[in-house]
Structures are given as structure tokens and as C-alpha cells.
């Protein structure tokens, strides 16, 4: 997670590795989603791009766990409740969250159905 925040340039190999490990692996997926949530809450807004990219790639994995990952990301207590926390405090973070949700809904039919 720290590499995603602090390194610049293409991190596609790192992201591919994490996505590969998440495929059909519930424990790993939910652990990574928990770490992503922590990073999204604590990282400065200018360091969120790669973290949102990883989150997107994990949520669009088409496997039997896809719906569970999406629910975990948006419903659970440890889920991404960022917009409520950052709406009045950090408009940049809130904007990035909204942008992420729109992009996810456009590229992932399962997420789009979930949001409906």
C-alpha cells in the first residue's frame, strides 16, 4: 500500500500481482480492501490515484466473489464510507470518490447494478 502511495510512474506489475492474488481468494481480497480503506482515509488527496486504481481493478475482477467484494467495499463498517467523512472536510477527496464511483459504474456492470 505504501508503494502505491509513494512511488510514481507505472505500477501496473504491482497492481496485477495484487489482483491475481485476489482472484477467488476471499480472505486476501477483504484484507486488501481493508488496507485500501485505511489508505484512502489517511493518505493526502494527491497520493490517492494509484490506490483508487488498485481498488477499481479489484472490484472489476469477474469471479464468484465480485459481488461480495463490492458489498464489502461499500456496505460494511470497515467499508468505504469516505464521502460521508470527507464531504465537509476535504472536497478534493470527496471529488475523487465521486469520480471513482462514476468510473466504476461505467466499466463494471455488476457495480452499476449494485448501485441501482
Query: 9-37: per-residue pLDDT in tens?
Result: 778 999 999 999 999 999 999 999 999 98
Q: Are 22 and 28 in contact (CB under 8 A)?
A: yes
- As for how many domains the chain has, the answer is 1
Within a domain: 5: no
Going by C-beta distance under 8 Å and a sequence separation of 6 or more, which residues neighbour residue 87? 94
User: 39-53, pLDDT tens digit by residue?
Assistant: 888 888 888 888 999
4 domain-assigned = no
- Is the pTM value of this prediction over 0.95? no
Retrieve residue 61's grid coordinates: 475482477
Q: Return the pLDDT at 9.
A: 75
45-104 pLDDT per residue, tens = 888 888 999 999 999 999 999 999 999 888 866 555 555 555 456 778 878 888 999 999
Position 1 in a domain: no
Task: Locate 115 and state its grid cell.
Answer: 448501485
How far, CA to CA in Å, does 107 sit from each of 16, 61, 85, 101?
A: 18, 11, 26, 10
Amino acid at each position: 500500500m505504501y508503494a502505491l502511495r509513494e512511488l510514481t510512474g507505472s505500477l501496473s506489475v504491482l497492481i496485477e500481482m495484487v489482483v491475481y492474488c485476489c482472484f477467488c481468494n476471499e480472505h486476501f481480497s477483504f484484507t486488501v480492501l481493508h488496507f485500501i480503506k485505511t489508505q484512502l482515509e489517511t493518505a493526502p488527496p494527491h497520493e490517492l490515484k494509484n490506490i483508487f486504481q488498485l481498488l477499481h481493478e479489484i472490484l472489476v475482477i469477474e469471479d464468484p466473489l465480485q459481488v461480495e467484494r463490492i458489498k464489502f467495499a461499500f456496505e460494511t463498517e470497515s467499508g468505504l464510507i469516505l464521502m460521508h467523512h470527507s464531504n465537509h472536510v476535504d472536497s478534493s477527496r470527496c471529488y475523487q470518490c465521486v469520480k471513482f464511483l462514476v468510473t466504476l459504474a461505467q466499466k463494471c456492470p455488476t457495480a452499476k447494478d449494485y448501485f441501482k
